[in-house]
Amino acid sequence: MAADETRATPATTERPIVVASNRLPFAIERRPDGLHLETSPGGLVSAMDPVLRKCGGTWIGWPGVELRSGEALPVADRPYAVAAVNVSEEELEGYYHGFSNETLWPLLHSMPGRSRFERPDFETYAGINDRFAETVSDHARGAGLVWIHDYHLMLAPRRIRETLPPEASLGFFLHVPFPPFDIFRLLPWDRELLSSLLACDLIAFHVRGYARNFLDCVERTLGARVDHEAMLVEYGDRTTRVAALPIGIEFDTFDRLARGMARQPESGPERIVLGVDRLDYTKGIPERIRALERLLELHPEHREKIVLLQIAVPSRAEVPEYRELKSEIDELVGAVNGRFTTSTWSPIRYINRGIERERLAALYRDAEVALVTPLRDGMNLVAKEWVACQVDAPGVLILSRLAGASETMREALLVNPYDLDGTAEAIHRALSMEEDERASRIAALRRRENRDDLDAWTAAFLNAAAEARGALPTMSDRDFEGWLSDFIKDYRLALFLDYDGTLTPLTDHPDRAGLSPEMRDVLVRCASRDDADVAIVSGRSLEGVRKMVGEEALTYAGNHGLEIEGPGIPLFEHEDLVHYRGRAEELADQLDRIASDGAWTERKGPTLTFHYRSVPEAQRGGLARDARAIVVRAGYQPRDAHCAVEARPPIGWDKGRAVLHILRARYGPAWSESVRVVYVGDDQTDEDAFRFLSGLATTFRVGSPDAPTAATRRLPGVDDVRGLLGWLARRPVGGRRWP
């Protein structure tokens, strides 16, 4: 929700919702007399509990302990259902401590040097996400919304979508930052996480910067079609809305507590500069202490008059890195205090424990300066809580520009937490600021945070989820121009196209896959340009693909490029083919013996394809396995295609090598200096070309988004290929760089 918008009106929700988060809305402790429940005070519970109480539904999460066989949660009197996802101690190590917090947490906070990329951790994470998805599916019947929370469950949406009733919406909110493309792509499983999230109808982030990073990642990693202005992503047959919805706090609760609490003994007589954080390396506590030290060096007038009251709530004490951080902070506090302490004053008061919310509200109220300087933070609610508690003399908020809150809390003094001198000067300015300026800044902050509170955030998400479904307009020249205009401008275009499934829809029999008049028209117009060359690279035989297309101006590569002919290049036939023509006939005879119920063998000279598209679906798997085994025994290489098994000679040749041969034969060894390559294909055989051309071309995978691909982008179907060729045919001619 933008800072200047009015409070959102809650959506009318007549059906129940399902909430899925890593933890349930309470903690479970096992005692000698059984399981005991303690309500969690977190912000997520404060937001979701009222919604579930009103709408009904189920909260799904891990209870915090491993449940024993037959053990039930003590939740009989709750106004809505809860469902526990059981996680063993061993699984917790890989799923939570491993992938969630040692891989994703630092990566999402743009600290990739701290990430560990361990496949066993990812596999455990994927398994637990599947378990969450199964539990959600068990409780989703009749639900109007399934709302998934945070980075622990980024692989769950795809599995949930597979079983979700069509009328139910699927939403996801990320409570931490989302990093830029150059950081997120370091994750070996980036495609899996992104494609899973795009199973949602709505994906929301705290601020537009994170949303823009996500849009950039899905466009560049998955080749998804993105409308950056409307914040829509088209991926396959689904359109996902992306939104920036900054989370708020229970403003009225903190305001009330601040007005009712007495001054706390932790405050002391000095002017308080307050830091409140979970003990985590993203929070910038060591940098904050060094900035205070720098303040006392640059501005000695503040000595014996101020104190940094730093509250650090213990976190993940079982992780060595966090224990090392605590030791570093302990040493820094000791060093700074040792340097500046007098007989009556120490500059830092350090509390390494949690503080009850009521007492914390009083400390917020009495602090003249709030020092909220994380190195990276999704939002940072401490800044908002401090503002809500400023009910007496106004203080000053110093806020890291690397926290999501900085995008809306404009009246704070924004700092770079890595700039110690800059942070020190901001503290000096805050301590020296006139009351009228402090009052003006705090008044604006309080007005905004009161309006954009936790209830407003919840209502905004529910409204966005209700309105999320829609679709991008049909793919148009605007898309193609954005993708290709700068890439091919001033260069000669080498356009490579697969045939079946790319230029023509797949059919039950290859002989029926003729070019439509519209496709033939745009293909011919592309080939007739004097700044473009067009090649068809097909698994069909050279004679077969040439017969199907029949245009003399094109280059043809048959049998995945084992045979090539075209204008201006010598006829090519791989030298090893002579050894395989007879063997291919023998192999075809063997495959014919297992062909039944519509299966048949396509003979293509030195290669062949065993087709089973017309076979009943229940029989296809076994038939394909038998065909692959026969191909292997014959000394050929089996390759899966669309409802087919292709048999290729084991001579180390594929569409990627065929493309290279054509480029070198036509343009010479330095072809990349004057030529831009676009390749469009639809199946696994085209992946060889996509991999070869990685970084050298713009490549398009046609068809289902579920198929993994090395292509740069995706096109939903043959009609979109025709649209692409139409744009290529009529685009303006640029300045020429080719000889």
CB within 8 A of 720, min separation 6: which ones? Answer: 475, 702
At 336 the three-state DSSP class reads helix
CB within 8 A of 183, min separation 6: which ones? Answer: 107, 110, 112
Alpha-carbon distance of 495 to 6, in angstroms, equals: 51
Could you tell me which of 46, 54, 99 has the C-alpha nearest to residue 80?
A: 54
Strands 644-648 vs 675-681: parallel, antiparallel or unpaired: unpaired
DSSP readout, 118-170? Answer: -HHHHHHHHHHHHHHHHHHHHH-TT-SEEEEESGGGTTHHHHHHHHS-TT-EE
Q: Which residue has the tokens 């202490």?
A: 289
Q: Which residue has the tokens 């201006």?
A: 568
Alpha-carbon distance of 549 to 499, in angstroms, equals: 9
- Decide if 231 contacts 216 (C-beta within 8 A): no
Q: Which region, left, alpha or beta, applies to residue 304 given φ > 0 means left and ψ of -120 to 50 means alpha?
A: left
Angle between helices 381-388 and 251-260 (to 10 degrees): 50
Q: What are phi and psi of 22, to 5 degrees?
A: -55, -45
Catalytic residue among 280, 377, 452, 498: 498
- Decide if 59 contacts 25 (C-beta within 8 A): yes
Q: What is the helix (H) or strand (E) element at residue 312, kind and residue range? A: strand 306-313
Which tokens go with 546? Answer: 């040439």
Strands 202-205 vs 238-244: parallel, antiparallel or unpaired: parallel
Alpha-carbon distance of 584 to 562, in angstroms, equals: 14
683 catalytic? Reply is no
Strand pairing partners for 675?
492
At 688 the three-state DSSP class reads helix
Q: Where are the alpha helices (DSSP H) in 418-561?
A: 420-432, 435-451, 454-466, 477-488, 517-527, 542-549
Alpha-carbon distance of 701 to 685, in angstroms, equals: 11
- Decide if 368 contacts 397 (C-beta within 8 A): no
- Decide if 630 contacts 590 (C-beta within 8 A): yes
CA 112, 113, 119, 123 torsion: positive or negative?
Answer: negative
CA 368 vs CA 25, 308, 455, 590: distances in Å: 34, 11, 28, 86
- Decide if 162 contacts 187 (C-beta within 8 A): no
Catalytic residues: 498
